Every structure is written in structure tokens, then in C-alpha cells.
Amino acid sequence: MKRIAITTGDPSGIGSEITVKALHFYPLRKEFVYIIYGSISEHDNILDVKKINSIKEANKGGRIYHIDISDDSVLGFPSKQSGETAYKILTNCAKDLNSGMLDAVVTSPISKHEIRKSYPDFIGHTEFFAQSSNSNDVIMSFWGESFNVALLTTHLAVKNVSKLLTESFLKTSFRKIFKETSRFIDKPKIAMLAVNPHAGEEGAFGTEDILISSVLHELAQEDIEIDGPFPADTFFAKKVQDYDMIISAFHDQGLIPFKMINQDCGVNVTLGLPFVRTSVDHGTAFDIAGKDIASEESMISAINFAERMLNQNLSELNSNYSSFARHYDTYMEHVEYNKWVNFVLRRYYKDCGKDPEQILELACGTANIATKLVERGFLVDASDIASDMLKVAYKKPFAPKLFLSDMSAPAEKNKYDFVLLLFDSINYLKRKNSIEKLFQNIYNYIKQDGVFIFDISTLQNCRDNFDNFVNIEDQEDFYFIHQGDMDESENFQFSHLTFFEKQGYNFKRRDEIHKQRIYRVQELIDLANKSEFTLTGIYSIDKTKNLLNTNVESLDTPFTRLFFVLKKI
């Protein structure tokens, strides 16, 4: 197992908030141990964390541990004390990193100004970890969805940049950037930005770019291919999409366009350390600290990037509802949720003669059904595999107890007497043996005489509402296209979702494809009868008649949605 540290930064800033938000519903991997260094006292009630005194106690994969390093700093009001605490967090973490007890660190933002009140030589995270680990020639880099940037110099005054750009320094830096980038990108295309306007106009505006060109030519003999130097004023408009890594001579030259384009999703990565170090690409945001509005997206990206640096076989986090989640409730506002709640409660009461005591909704999405049940006084747990959907659900009034979990995952035995799987979620299970596994797991944890209700999108629904279907939503900062089609010969329905979301000055395109199996009613009856459940009824939400004993083949076409009621007898 690999251990990943997460530091919460300045206790007066947003570090604690974004750390907890990022880890809440984060898909913790069994091959990693997660250790928070710092204070999370304002938020730890929503995380399952174990407080420890020593890194040696963090020994279980897929678990979050907490080494408490806190003070009484006030959110939004940085001070010398908050700077001292931030520095203490770093030194404690660095000790464990350099002892080999940690494999990676993900850092929250700090205030260099507040730290320097007590430690005048402090420059920043990058320099701190380089010095504490005796690492030379480290490189500050930034990785984002649109492009990646590496900096030749870090926190250095512009007037001192040219003095540092010697032949030796350039060769060492270029070799390091090429080597480290090649760890993550096979045969990367790399570009160097010019230091001077128009690449110096052959020396008219300075000779730095002539030297850079000469060094790049020499390095090409070592199979280190770096193009440039390119005039920076036109590069990001015309050439940026052609390269995997862009090298900038100084801090703001590369980071102004990077932070403008890669808002909330960029990751700061220090290359050349003996351990992995990633970070958010933003500051402490003291002005919004304590207001619960800070975005955790960069922290999520930083944690996932650290995981992928430690295990390159891991994929990037990519929920199929990552974009849709933010707009799901608006898109589904036509649904009569109260009608659905009334229907399932009525069916339970008909079968059991009482109200349920403990309800579980699987694949709950943004928990519109579960919240209605909680509002009516029921005890409800709800789970979903899409963390972005759960984040929306968590913020709602009457939110149930939420879990990040696959619908087919086992649960605590004999805990629930009513289990729901609604909005054709079962159609996402593309194989019959997956449904068999689902039925068995639910049967194992549902109480005796418990009821399980699921619904399906029927063949007729796919024909009427999804085949050759196109819908467009046009809003000021959001444009959404939903295209549906079906392959009846293979029994699959497809929803192609295209989102254009405003990010800064641009619109970012994201695509999702949702694939569902079209099950015939007889197939599901056979699967239910094969299980240990008893199938007690099949219903349409608009009719009270039990359709189970009617001509089954006729049910595929008159109804667009059908509900199956199973009971553990």
C-alpha cells in the first residue's frame, strides 16, 4: 500500500474545507492510505476518519486517518499564529516524507506572508520540500485539462530571471522536464516559450532566446526534442493544442493563461522530488473562508493525480454523471416525485400492512425520492456510484444518509425492510448475471418480509422517447444537447450528452454516453423467479391493477415504465 498525505494549509484559509469536500464521496482506493495533516474540526463530522498520533498507525488501505495539528485561528483572519501552524503542518509532514513513511503529499494553500513573519527564509511549498529533502533542480509544473505548463523559475523576481538562464541551468532544467514529462506521456511533444517579445527579434530585444535556441539544438542530439522558443503572445492562441507540455521561463508568463483556462481543475506538481508532490493551483482565499463556497475540484484533481503518479495503471476519475450532475435536477424537474413516493409507499403498505422502518434507495442520483421520504419522517439511507450526484444530494434539505457505493455492493445484513431501485437504474446492468448478483445481495441484507421495488424503461419507452430523440437546453452559461437512439436488434438504448459549460472566458465541452440494456418483461420475471425473492406484482404507476397474471408479452408495448415488487418471504 502507498501512503498519501494531505496537508490542510493555513488554518485561516479554505484548506480544511476543500480537503473535507474533496474526500467526501471520494472513491477511496484499497491500495492507498490517506492521512490528513492539520485541522478539520469544523468539518470532520461528514468524514469517516480515525485520529492517530503517528504515521505508523495508518495501516489500512482505503481509509482516512487524521494527525491533528490545530490552533485557535479564526477563519478568514490570517495571522502570525496561523502561519506558524501552517509551517508546523509542513515540517511534520516533511519528516514523515523524508523518513520514507509517506509516498506522496497533496498540499492545500498557505500564506507565504504569514509564514515569513516567523520564518523569514520561507519562499514556498516547492522550495520547502526541495530543501527539506536535499533535492536540487526541482521543477514547478501545472497540469490541466486544456494544457500543461512547466516553469524554469519559480517564485523569482522578473528582474532576476535572465541572470539564472545560463547554459548549464537550461540544459539541466530541460533534461529534467523532458524526463519527468515522459513518465506520464509517451514521447511527449514539448514547446519552449520565448523570454522576450517576438522571441527577441534575433537579439534586438535581448539575447536570452538565442541561447535557448542553441541549447535546444544541442539537446536534440540526445533525442530530447523541444520545439521553440516561440513568441509567447501568439502561442496560446495558435499552437498550444499541438503540445503536451509548454515550458515557461518565469512564473506569470505560463500561469496567467493556465489559471484562466484551467479554472478549478488544475494541479500543481513538483517534478524532481524523491516523493510525489501535488497541490491545488489556487491560493488561501481568506475572503471566502468559512462561507462553505470554496470549490474542491482542484483538490480532487490533485489527489487523483498523486494516485496516478504512484500507480500509472490507474485511470483518471471520470464519473459518467460528472457534468450532468450539476444540471440533473433542472432537466428532471418535470418528474412528479411526490407521485412516485406515494406509489412505492402504497405498494409497501399493501404487501406489509405497515409503514417501513428503514429504507435504502440504491442508485439514488441526487436523492429526489430519498429526500421526499426523509421529509415525511422515514429513516433513509441512499447510495450512488456517482460522487458528483451525491454532492448535489448532500446539500439538499432533508438529505438522507448518503454512501458512495455501487448498486450491487453488499450491505449490512438485516438492516433494511424496504429497498428501492428507481428511474430505470436496473437497465444500466447490461448482463443478466449482474441482475442475478444484485438480487442476491439485496436478498442477503433485506429483512424477512422486506420489500424490494425496481422499475424498468420498457421497449415501448425506448421507441417513443429515445429513438432518434434530440433535445437542446440553451442557458446563459450552459448549453446541453441530448441525443437518443436505440439498437433494437442488440437490445440497447444510448443517450449521448454533450455539455458546453462556461469556464472563465471560454466554454468547455464535455461528453457523456449512457448505455442501457432494453429488457423484456419476461426476462425480468424469469430472473426474479430464479432468485430467492417472491415476485408479488408488476404495476404501472397510473394503474392499481396487478399486471403479473396478464399476458406478459403484451406488457412490453402498452406501458413506458413498469414497477416490479419483490418480497422476501
- What are the helix (H) ranges across 250-336? 251-261, 297-310, 328-331
Whole-number pLDDT of residue 91: 97
289 found inside a domain: yes
Categorize the per-residue pLDDT at 536 as very low, low, confident or very high, splitting at 50, 70 and 90: very high
Please check whether residues 209 and 295 belong to one and the same domain.
no
My answer on whether 154 and 284 are in the same domain is no
Same-domain check for residues 206 and 283: no
- Confidence class of residue 223 from pLDDT cuts 50, 70 and 90? very high
Of 301-315, 342-356, 437-451, the range with the lowest mean pLDDT is 301-315
Residue 552 is predicted with a pLDDT of: 84
Name the 3-class secondary structure at 48: coil
List CB contacts of 22: < 8 A, sequence separation 6 or more: 296, 299, 300, 303
Residue 467 confidence (pLDDT): 86
Q: Are 40 and 8 in contact (CB under 8 A)?
A: yes
What average pLDDT does the segment 52-58 reach? 95
Q: Are 217 and 224 in contact (CB under 8 A)?
A: no
Residue 266 lies in a domain: no
Report the alpha-carbon distance of residue 159 to residue 161 in Å, rounded.
6
pLDDT of the residue at 498: 92
pLDDT greater than 90 at residue 342: yes
Which residue type occupies 361? E
Alpha-carbon distance 416 to 341, whole Å? Answer: 17
Domain range for 289 is 1-134+276-317
Q: How far is CA 487 from the centre of its chain?
A: 32
Query: What residues form DSSP beta bridges with 446?
Result: 416
Q: Dihedral sign for Cα 181, 182, 184, 189, please.
A: positive
Q: Are residues 386 and 527 in the same domain?
A: yes
11 and 120 in a common domain: yes
Residues in the chain: 569
68 and 184 assigned to the same domain: no
Give the Å distances, CA to CA, from 492 to 350, 436, 455, 516, 517.
34, 19, 17, 6, 5
E strands present in 170-301: 190-193, 226-230, 245-248, 267-271, 276-280
Residue 433: inside a domain = yes
- With respect to residue 155, please indicate whether it lies within any of the assigned structural domains: yes
Same domain, 281 and 342: no
Q: What is the CATH number of the domain that holds 220?
A: 3.40.718.10
Residues 128, 249 within the same domain:
no
Structure confidence at residue 42 as a pLDDT band (50, 70, 90): low
| Alpha-carbon span 291 to 311, nearest angstrom | 36
**Phi and psi, residue 34, nearest 5°:** -115, 125
Residue 191: C-alpha distances to residues 165, 240, 545 (Å): 17, 9, 69
- Quickly state the pLDDT bin for 238 (edges 50, 70, 90): confident
Residue 320 CA to residue 389 CA, distance in Å, equals 10
Q: What pLDDT sits at residue 326? A: 85
Residue 503 has pLDDT above 80, yes or no: no
Q: What is the tens place of the pLDDT at every residue in 438-476?
A: 999 999 999 999 999 999 999 888 888 888 889 898 888
Is residue 367 classed as helix, strand or coil in its secondary structure?
coil
88 plus 72 within the same structural domain: yes
481 is a domain residue: no
The answer to whether the beta carbons of residues 413 and 445 sit under 8 Å apart is: yes
Domain assignment present for residue 529? The answer is yes
Domain membership of residue 304 (yes or no) is yes
Give how many domains the chain has, as a whole number: 3
- pLDDT tens digits for 88-139? 999 999 999 999 999 999 999 999 999 999 999 999 998 999 999 999 888 9
**CA pair distance 413, 78, nearest whole angstrom:** 49
- Work out the percent of the chain whose per-residue pLDDT is above 90: 68
Cell representation of residue 136: 536540487
User: What is the tens place of the pLDDT at every residue in 73-98?
Assistant: 999 999 999 999 999 999 999 999 99
How far apart CA 562 and CA 543 sit, in angstroms, is: 10
pLDDT range class, residue 45, cuts 50, 70, 90: low
198 pLDDT band, cuts 50/70/90, is confident
323 closest CA partner among 508, 472, 516: 508
| CA 244 – CA 238 distance, rounded (Å) | 14
CA distance readout (Å), 252 to 158, 220, 271, 429: 9, 27, 19, 49
- Which H or E element spans position 479? strand 478-487
62 pLDDT above the threshold of 90: yes
Helix (H, G, I), strand (E, B) or coil at 455: strand
Task: Give the integer Cα–Cα distance in Å for 145 and 258.
Answer: 10
- Of 268, 345, 314, nearest to 107 (Cα)? 268
Instruction: Judge if 389 and 536 occupy the same domain.
Output: yes
Backbone angles phi, psi at 167, to 5 degrees: -60, -45
Q: Are residues 238 and 301 in the same domain?
A: no
Say if 267 falls within a structural domain.
Answer: no
Task: Looking at the structure, tell me whether residues 447 and 546 fall in a common domain.
Answer: yes
